[in-house]
């Protein structure tokens, strides 16, 4: 209890909430809740006809912990807390630490035991300990379970069913990880889980906590990691949730200007309050420990860091130094990441941070926030803006392609094309692309290949892997019938081959976060919108040359500088016929000429396909100075 009130109890869910146990020889449930402003609290449920007079709780200390053991209650018992506020009002609240909840629209908490599931992923967990994720391939498939595939609108499959459907699909595509939109219990389907009420309860839409554990267990059995979107920045205002939990602002700031998030209609956690720190830090550790998750993607970090995020003048106040930074949130994030990596060292903590805040993915002892990855929102915005341009105009916006390399190694970046980019009128990834039918698919293949060639780990939202035409429809499942059409099936096969190339070539991931992993050949060809560069690994034999053409023009004798003398081979082309391309590939070996070009000691002559990317590899090195073409 002392540690909880100090903000240092990393496993507060083992103290608070509803726990099955034996007391005085009797089996039952011990309930504990934090509500310092309450006058009286009772546990109510079907077992006492929701009568708050029958099971009043005992107040344990002046800091507001209340406790009660009720014998004979079992797993599956429905309950809530009836709270008498200092203002004389009675209110019913779900348990903030409940491990399960009723299926919406019902809102009661459900007694569920910890530690009952038998895990079978020892091999995966041991392998994870020895993995250097920074120098490993990391390709993430982001999905929202309910709209990946459903039985019908608002009627979903069970987590176990999803395991049988999702895992083989993701495995076939070649992704290393799945990232799930939030699964904390939430009242409104269309919030996608980003406005939660039950932070410790996996949503009952898809089954029980143990059903979800099975999903993760099966992912690990098939070599797939699992990342969960997690939202410590704000919570929804539904009456049964955390808002004014004991009649006063408790989990949220008391200061309305700090508490309100008008952009989303939610409330900000009070990051300065010790008990809230224990609640949130324990929650992150809970998901990582109790569900064996491989990482958390922390949502909307910018909204936590800045007091003026999404607010107009007059809706916020400066901090004590006159700045707009939320100093308490900054310290909380550092404390949170220190605790997580102390308790669960080999996980991913990814920040969705959309500003230029420095050192997001740097350790706290160097002044960083302590995450180990940051989403590269700048790259995403620039590239999507560029790709939507008609190719005839791209030469005037060449900087949108090259600017990301000025800062690519300032953080450990993930390149994200997430759900936010293909919803709310933004169009699907395919439909963002300009041109006729063929050019749309060519542009999509070009974009995806450039993404996988660019430094940084990868994330792609579901549906893009088979070129869904419509933007994400959050209440319907994906347009799976498109896979019956050759053009869409070819994109699916393209993604399989691209992932195979990605995983087989250390140059595409081993030095993702080091300047030595990337060097330009020619970033300046604005007139033809052609880029060329080198990706390096720790072995000089794994070097790749990448040539990208962002126009529909074909060049049959294009001169490209290369770093090595010998014979080059085009090992992958996004323009290959079997991908739906025009077939302007380089089938013959490409011999170097010893003549400097584009800052390289040698050059080759090659065919440049339209709206395409070519990956070239030196397959044999020559000791001689010159070779004929």
* DSSP class per residue in 406-455: GTTTSS-EEEEE-GGGSSTTS--HHHHS-SSHHHHHHHHHHHHHHHHHSS
Q: How far is CA 422 from CA 100, 155, 176, 390, 416, in A?
A: 31, 23, 22, 19, 12
Strands 65-71 and 78-84: unpaired
- 626: pLDDT strictly greater than 50: no
Residue 115 banded pLDDT, cuts 50, 70, 90: confident
User: DSSP assignment of 63-119, as one string?
Assistant: T-EEEEEEET--TT-EEEEEEE-TTS-EEEE--TT-S-BPPTT---EE---SS-S--
Q: Is 539 exposed, middle or buried (0-12, 13-18, 19+ CB in 10 A)?
A: exposed
pTM reported for the whole predicted model: 0.96
Q: pLDDT tens-digit profile of 336-365? A: 999 999 999 999 999 999 999 999 999 999
**pLDDT on residue 628:** 42
Give 91's contacts (C-beta < 8 A, 6+ positions apart). 82, 83, 85, 239, 247
Distance of alpha carbon 626 from alpha carbon 571, whole angstroms: 23
Quick one: pLDDT at residue 397? 98
Please return the burial class of 548, using the count of CB atoms within 10 Å of its CB with bins 0-12, 13-18 and 19+. Answer: buried
Length of the chain (residues): 629
Rounded (10°) angle between helices 274-290 and 327-343? 30
Model confidence at 39: pLDDT above 70: yes
**Is pLDDT of 154 > 90?**
no
Paired tokens of 177: 């990880």
Which token pair is 612? 């395409």
Specify the 3-state DSSP secondary structure of 191: helix
What is the C-alpha separation between 465 and 491, in angstroms, rounded?
7
pLDDT at 622: 84
Catalytic residue among 95, 211, 352, 564: 352
Question: Is 142 known to be catalytic?
Answer: no
Instruction: Report the pLDDT averaged over residues 300-318.
Output: 95
Question: Apex CA 478: angle with CA 477 and CA 480, to 5°?
Answer: 120
Given this model, what pLDDT does residue 133 score?
96
**624: confidence class by pLDDT, cuts 50, 70, 90:** low
- 2-110 and 387-411+435-457+481-629: same fold? yes
Task: Say whether pLDDT at 255 is over 70.
Answer: yes
Beta strands in 219-330 (DSSP E): 225-230, 234-235, 260-261, 266-268, 295-298
Catalytic one among 270, 299, 564, 575?
A: 299
CATH fold label, 2-110: Immunoglobulin-like (2.60.40)
- Identify each DSSP E strand in 241-294 by its residue range: 260-261, 266-268
Domain residues of the chain, as ranges? 2-110, 138-386+412-434+458-480, 387-411+435-457+481-629
Q: What's the CA gap between 269 and 397, in Å, rounded?
A: 41
Q: Which CATH superfamily is domain 138-386+412-434+458-480 in?
A: Glycosidases (3.20.20.80)
Average pLDDT, the chain: 96
CB-side exposure of 81: number of CA atoms within 13 Å? Answer: 33
Among 301-315, 552-566, 611-625, the minimum mean pLDDT is found in: 611-625
Please identify which residue in the block is written with the tokens 């059903």.
211
Q: Tokens representing 395?
A: 């030469």
> Coil, strand or helix: which one is 560?
strand
Mean pLDDT within 13-25? 97
Residue-level pLDDT at 279: 98
Is 390 annotated in the active site? Answer: no
Q: What is the pLDDT of residues 157-188, one digit of tens each?
A: 999 999 999 999 999 999 999 999 999 999 99
Buried b / exposed e along 201-217 (16+ C-beta atoms within 10 A): bbbbbbbbbbbbbbbbb
Report the pLDDT value the prediction gives residue 629, as an integer from 0 to 100: 36
CA distances from 465 to 168, 169, 429, 444, 582 (A): 15, 11, 10, 10, 20
For 387-411+435-457+481-629, the fitting CATH number among 1.10.8.350, 2.60.40.1180, 3.80.30.20, 1.10.760.10 is 2.60.40.1180
Token pair listed for 301: 């970090």
Q: 343: buried, middle or exposed (CB in 10 Å: 19+, 13-18, 0-12)?
A: middle
């Amino acid at each position: 209890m002392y540690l909880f009130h100090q903000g240092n109890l990393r496993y507060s869910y083992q103290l608070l909430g509803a726990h099955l146990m034996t007391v005085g020889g009797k089996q039952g449930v011990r309930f504990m809740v934090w509500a310092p402003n309450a006058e009286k609290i009772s546990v109510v449920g079907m077992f006492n006809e929701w009568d708050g007079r029958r099971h009043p709780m005992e107040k344990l200390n002046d800091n507001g912990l209340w406790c009660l053991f009720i014998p004979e209650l079992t797993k599956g018992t429905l309950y809530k807390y009836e709270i008498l506020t200092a203002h004389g009002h009675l209110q019913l609240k779900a348990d903030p630490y409940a491990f399960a909840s009723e299926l919406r629209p019902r809102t009661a908490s459900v007694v569920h035991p910890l530690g009952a599931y038998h895990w079978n992923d020892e091999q995966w967990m041991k392998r994870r300990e020895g993995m250097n994720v920074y120098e490993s391939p990391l390709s993430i498939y982001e999905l929202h379970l309910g709209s990946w595939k459903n039985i019908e609108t608002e009627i979903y499959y069970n987590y176990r069913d999803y395991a049988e459907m999702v895992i083989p699909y993701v495995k076939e595509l070649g992704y290393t990880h799945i990232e799930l939109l939030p699964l904390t219990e939430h009242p409104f389907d269309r919030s996608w889980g980003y406005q939660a009420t039950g932070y410790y309860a996996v949503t009952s839409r898809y089954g029980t906590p143990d059903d979800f554990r099975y999903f993760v267990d099966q992912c690990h059995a098939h070599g797939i990691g699992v990342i969960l979107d997690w939202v410590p920045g704000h919570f929804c205002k539904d009456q049964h949730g955390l808002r004014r939990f004991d009649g006063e602002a408790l989990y949220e700031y008391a200061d309305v200007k700090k508490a309100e998030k008008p952009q989303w209609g939610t409330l900000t956690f009070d990051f300065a309050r010790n008990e809230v720190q224990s609640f949130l830090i324990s929650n992150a550790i809970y998901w990582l420990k109790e569900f064996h998750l491989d990482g958390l993607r922390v949502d909307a970090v910018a909204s936590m860091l800045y007091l003026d995020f999404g607010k107009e003048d007059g809706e916020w106040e400066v901090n004590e130094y006159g700045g707009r930074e939320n100093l308490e949130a900054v310290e909380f994030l550092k404390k949170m990441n220190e605790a997580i990596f102390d308790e669960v060292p080999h996980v991913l903590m990814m920040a969705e941070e959309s500003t230029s805040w420095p050192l997001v993915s740097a350790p706290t002892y160097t002044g960083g926030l302590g995450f180990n990855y940051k989403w590269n929102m700048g790259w995403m915005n620039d590239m999507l803006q560029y790709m939507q341009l008609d190719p005839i105009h791209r030469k005037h916006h060449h900087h949108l392609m090259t600017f990301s390399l000025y800062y690519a190694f300032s953080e450990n970046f993930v390149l994200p094309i997430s759900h936010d980019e293909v919803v709310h009128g933004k169009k699907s990834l395919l439909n963002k692309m300009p041109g006729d039918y063929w050019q749309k698919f060519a542009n999509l293949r070009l974009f995806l290949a450039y993404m996988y060639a660019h430094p940084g780990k990868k994330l792609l939202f579901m549906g893009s892997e088979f070129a869904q035409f419509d933007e994400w429809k959050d209440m319907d499942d994906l347009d799976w019938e498109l896979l019956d059409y050759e053009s869409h099936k070819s994109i699916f096969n393209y993604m399989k081959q691209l992932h195979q190339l990605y995983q087989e070539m250390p140059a595409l991931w081993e030095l993702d976060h080091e300047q030595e992993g990337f060097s330009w050949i020619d970033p300046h060809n604005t007139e033809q919108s052609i880029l060329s560069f080198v990706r390096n690994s720790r072995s000089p034999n794994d070097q790749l040359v990448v040539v990208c053409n962002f126009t529909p023009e074909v060049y049959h004798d294009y001169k490209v500088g290369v770093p090595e003398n010998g014979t080059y081979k085009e090992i992958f082309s996004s323009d290959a016929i079997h991908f739906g391309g025009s077939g302007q590939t380089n089938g013959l070996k490409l011999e170097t000429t010893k003549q400097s070009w584009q800052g390289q000691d040698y050059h080759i002559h090659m065919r440049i396909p339209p709206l395409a990317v070519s990956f070239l590899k030196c397959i044999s090195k020559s000791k001689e100075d010159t070779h004929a073409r």
